[in-house]
Structure 1
Amino acid sequence: MDDAERKRKVLREQLRAGGSRLSFSRLTEGEEWWASRQPWLESCGYILRQRYRPGWEASWHGTQKDSLECEDHMMIFHWFLLDATRASDGKPVILKRINTVQFPDEVEITSMLSASPFASDHRNRCVPCLDVLRVPDEDSLSIIVLPLLRRYDDPRFDTVGEVVDCLGQILECVQFLHDHQIAHRDIKSNNIMMDASNMYPHAFHPRDQTMRADWEGRAHHYSRTERLVRYHLIDFGLSTDFGVTRPPYLDYPALGGYKTVPEFQGDGYDKMHDPFPTDVYYLGTWIRQDFLEGRFGGRNNDRVAFSKRLGLEFLRPLVDEMMREDPAARPSIDEVMDKFNALASGLSSWKLRSRVAKENDHPLYSMYLSVTHWCRRLKLVATRRPAIPCPDGTC
């Protein structure tokens, strides 16, 4: 059982222990905001799940069913996000509600990056903006429509080549942003997502992504090598577009998810800094925590949140450079790309096809993964699939 599966199992057990029949029967305040605007959203071409339609009553009422077995128990975790279906083609989407006073540039930057000429650059893996809705009678609120994505590492990586593909795509995306004088300013694990639609022969449910969209069983998937995926950077709420401004590019700190940025410590928060080296630091932090060392959580930061991935130590020298304390001593994103490509090109096919194990995997589970990995590996070698799923970077 991997980290994501373990977390979901614990959550379900906690909900059952807490009397889940009642907890899902009523909409939360955040859900009520969306449900009250269901007719307007439908008129805009977006269909909400049954839970958010007028007159909804919990399907498990008056039955012996456990609420967790019913699709309409699935609540939203974040009040500003809701899943929907685009009426014109049945495409699953995410609606993101944005306070344009609090985040004045997010709608503009997100939509701009999906338009010409940015959209034609193959390095542009910023989340596509499918639509922008202005909320009636709410001058400070807009909704951007995004494709349904999932965490970049769920399901887990099978091979080193798949990790190299992921890192290469995200590094290229940041290079694309920096080439256009745009600093993301909040690169972190949960702002890196994946369009995994190719991996799933049956679409996955937007809220419980282990389940099929039709709630008819678990969502089975292929590996990334078998079915190519595209990674995306999301959340441009803290981003800065310097446009035609001439260097030096300076701005006051935007405190993103990683709080260890050296230049922000002490009185650094009150000073202006170049945000582009900070983006490089954020990238290094993401790679170090999620791939090289693992991450801890819990009240005392003593619980393993994500296990260390094994077999990726070839990345450490580059990560150490990216996380240098002096921003001026960090490599630029162009230098990072050059060094990363040199590292990747130096890996043998055997290394790239090797399995990415996790430090805390149970021995029996690890044995199961090894067997299934080798079955896939022999098949992929026989069919001449590339060891790096997207070797030309155009996925």
Structure 2
Amino acid sequence: MLSENTTLSGLFEALGPPPPRLITLKEQLWADSYEFLLSRGYRLRPRYHPRWVPSWGAKGNPIRLESEDFLTSYAGDALDAVCLKTKQKVVLKRVGGKELALLRRLDGLREDTRNRTIPLLDVVPLPGTEWTVVVMPYCRRFNSPPFHCRGEFVDAMRQYIEGLQFMHEHNVVHFDIAPQNMVMEESRLIPNGSHWCDPTTHSGFHSHFFAWKNRCALHPAVQYYYIDFGLSRHFPAGRKSARMKGTLRTFPMIPELSLTVPYNPFYVDVFQLGLAMGRLIDVYPALEDFRTVAAGLTVDDPHARASLDEALKQMNCVYGQMPPSVRRKRIWEKGITRWKKVTRVVLGGQWDL
């Protein structure tokens, strides 16, 4: 039995070394595909090498709390890799035939600058399976790191509104617009890169300083994208006649969703984008002037919601009436500590201990 005076180090000693960390079931497909993907020019992290031996917990070795190969990737259908040709990090995603066909359709329309669907860098069928791996740029969630000013917020929302306009004009409904499916290119934003298992760190561990550049200081502008088209659909007959039934577990607040009454899913996309915008405004008090834009997109009656054209025009109007000094003024999240403010202003990042 452990006494009240047992120290943390004594507790670790009493427990003994941790058992070997094994590959999870969700990771197994990637481990099985390591050598094939390497032959196609994509190298996974050491954890997925077929002859991987954990670098911690071996007999006689100390416990290593910061072993990179200890980190588990929980998103089983996607993983990071290094492209051997360019030496750049990329994202590999396992998709089925339906999603692949839609991604190819949208990727073939790159001449439209409003196309905010994630680019396809390569397509790699997995031998002996029904799956295909699509290779995409290495991105991160669009709202992390935090926004620096109103101009950054408007640039992001403008790209997402225009991107949804583009999809809808081509009769494609996304149907799963949420922060986890809204990303941005990170290569210039995070010079030291981020770790796939924890993108708020460089190494995967919260014991070091995490630094970034302000988006408004980067030229050309940061590119924002939509990802994850697993629920998306193309309606060849057009948007007006599109009908669906069914609910979404992650969006119970959308009023028209029904298992029995047909609804137009294009209006659902509009509501979802307005919801994402409204939640972002909730975080930054300085963005309250844009509340009416988000509110117009999330009206209960689908037919009374603002159109994407109207929302873009209204947002540009609100932003255009602001003096340049207000557009560039730094904004802060609700409840941020003074320490984080100082480290961001002086050092360009923060410690996440």
Q: Give the TM-score of the pair, scaled to structure 2.
A: 0.85
Q: Which residue of 2 aligns with 1:368?
A: 342
Q: Indicate if the aligned counterparts of 2:197 and 2:204 stay in contact, CA closer than 8 A.
A: no
Paired residue type of 1:273:
Y
| 1:238 lines up with 2:231 in the alignment | yes
**SS at 1:281's partner residue?**
helix
User: CA deviation digits over 1:115-167, x for unaligned, max 9?
Assistant: 2xx1111111111122222222223x222222111111111111111111111
Distance 1:208 1:21 in 2: 24
Q: Indicate if the aligned counterparts of 1:203 and 1:219 stay in contact, CA closer than 8 A.
A: no
Q: Which residue of 1 aligns with 2:308?
A: 333
| 1:36 lines up with 2:32 in the alignment | yes
Range moving further from structure 2, 158-167 or 212-221? 212-221
Q: Which residue of 1 aligns with 2:6?
A: none
Q: Indicate if the aligned counterparts of 1:131 and 1:144 stay in contact, CA closer than 8 A.
A: yes
Superposed counterparts of 1:286-305, under 5 Å? 286-292=276-282
2:112 to 117, 121, 125: 121
The alpha carbon displacement at 1:262 in A equals 0.6
Structure 1 pair 280–210 and aligned structure 2 pair: CA distance change class (3 A): closer
Range moving further from structure 2, 144-153 or 128-137? 128-137
Q: Which residue of 2 aligns with 1:323?
A: 298
Distance 1:112 1:179 in 2: 13
Instruction: Give the length in aligned residue pairs.
Output: 332
1:73 to 64, 70, 74: 70
The alpha carbon displacement at 1:33 in A equals 2.1
Structure 1 pair 85–370 and aligned structure 2 pair: CA distance change class (3 A): closer
Q: Indicate if the aligned counterparts of 1:50 and 1:56 stay in contact, CA closer than 8 A.
A: yes
Q: Which residue of 2 aligns with 1:177?
A: 167
1:224 to 198, 215, 218: 215
Paired residue type of 1:365:
W
Q: Indicate if the aligned counterparts of 2:140 and 2:184 stay in contact, CA closer than 8 A.
A: yes
Superposed counterparts of 1:1-395, under 5 Å? 22=18, 25-62=21-58, 66-98=63-95, 100=96, 105-115=98-108, 118-139=109-130, 141-212=131-202, 218-227=209-218, 228-245=221-238, 247-253=240-246, 255=248, 257-264=250-257, 268-292=258-282, 308-362=283-337, 364-365=338-339, 367-368=341-342, 371-372=345-346
Q: Indicate if the aligned counterparts of 1:20 and 1:68 stay in contact, CA closer than 8 A.
A: no
Structure 1 pair 327–20 and aligned structure 2 pair: CA distance change class (3 A): farther
Q: Indicate if the aligned counterparts of 1:46 and 1:86 stay in contact, CA closer than 8 A.
A: yes
User: CA deviation digits over 1:271-330, x for unaligned, max 9?
Assistant: 2211121111111111112322xxxxxxxxxxxxxxx21111111112222111110101
The alpha carbon displacement at 1:254 in A equals 5.6
The gaps in structure 1 that reach 5 residues or longer are 1-15, 293-307, 377-395
Range moving further from structure 2, 230-239 or 332-341? 332-341
**SS at 2:211's partner residue?**
coil
RMSD: 2.7
Q: Give the TM-score of the pair, scaled to structure 1.
A: 0.77
The alpha carbon displacement at 1:234 in A equals 0.7
User: CA deviation digits over 1:173-201, x for unaligned, max 9?
Assistant: 11111121111111111111110211233
Distance 1:281 1:50 in 2: 42
Structure 1 pair 20–338 and aligned structure 2 pair: CA distance change class (3 A): farther
Structure 1 pair 31–80 and aligned structure 2 pair: CA distance change class (3 A): same
The gaps in structure 2 that reach 5 residues or longer are 1-11
Distance 1:226 1:154 in 2: 16
User: CA deviation digits over 1:29-66, x for unaligned, max 9?
Assistant: 22222111211111222111111112111122346554
Structure 1 pair 112–254 and aligned structure 2 pair: CA distance change class (3 A): farther
Q: Indicate if the aligned counterparts of 1:184 and 1:279 stay in contact, CA closer than 8 A.
A: yes
User: CA deviation digits over 1:190-239, x for unaligned, max 9?
Assistant: 11111021123333333333444699965532111122311111111111
Distance 2:20 2:79 in 1: 16
Distance 1:311 1:272 in 2: 39
